[in-house]
Amino acid sequence: MTKSLILGTILGGLMAFVWSSVSWELIGWHEKTMLGFQNEDDVAAVISSHATQDGTYILPSVPPAAGMTPEQKKSALAAVMQKMQTGPIMVAAVRRGGFGSYSRGLIVQLLSLMASAFLLTWLLLQTTGLTYARRVAFLAIVGLAASVIVDLPNWNWWGFSAAYTAVNLADSTLTWLVAGLVIAKVAKPATN
């Protein structure tokens, strides 16, 4: 089981990394679902002057409730809900200093995919009696499930576009289908 886990982690993670490179760099379908701001330099200046630190920002935000009476909290929450209903709303990851090293990003991506491959290999090793095709399908469905868990709530609550969401659902499924071709080959459950 240990050998299967190691092989599934390394080879599955590498295959997922290769697919993700194809998906983002060659197919380019992710970028087609994202919009750019008008007057991008002006927007960047506003973000730089109003985002005081790196982090995830939300608009509108709930004001700190410390020191508020129950009535003030209720009123503040009602004001936020009104703004959420009329818009605009936004969730944004802000890095004030830019992306940094592209090589570092690739290494972190590879390690993240290997961590995912480790978990999926372990999960696959808990199954019994599945054919190779069903083991691959199992991993693809787990990839789809992970995307459904994350991407559908983001579409619902934060307005991520249907196209963006659909591409993420498809890409996650395809990533783990492609990686699953390798993982299912090398990670075979032990027979009792």
pLDDT of amino acid 146? 97
Q: Helix axis angle, 102-125 relative to 162-186, nearest 10°?
A: 60
The CA-to-CA distance between both ends of the chain, in Å, stands at 12
In 41-102, where do the E strands start and end? 55-59, 90-94
Provide the mean pLDDT of the chain. Answer: 93
How crowded is residue 167: how many other Cβ atoms within 10 Å of its Cβ?
A: 20
Sign of CA dihedral 10, 12, 15, 17: negative
pLDDT tens-digit map of 49-94: 999 999 999 999 988 888 889 999 999 999 999 999 998 989 999 9
Provide the pLDDT for residue 149.
Answer: 97
What is the model's pLDDT at position 62? 85
- Could you give the C-alpha distances from 24 to 94, 118, 168, 175, 177, in angstroms and in order? 21, 23, 11, 12, 16
> 124: Cβ–Cβ under 8 A, 6 or more apart, which residues?
8, 135, 138, 139, 183, 184, 187, 189
The band of 97, judged by pLDDT with boundaries at 50, 70 and 90, is confident
State whether residue 126 is helix, strand or coil: coil
Q: Residue 23's closest CA among 186, 187, 155, 177? A: 177
**Measuring CA to CA, which residue among 137, 186, 191, 157 is closest to residue 4?**
186
Q: What is the pLDDT of residues 16-41, one digit of tens each?
A: 999 999 999 999 899 999 999 999 99
Q: Considering the entire predicted model, what is its pTM? A: 0.85
Q: CA 52 → CA 88, 94, 143, distances in Å?
A: 21, 10, 36
Grade residue 190 by pLDDT with cuts at 50, 70 and 90.
Answer: low
Q: Residue 151: pLDDT above 80?
A: yes
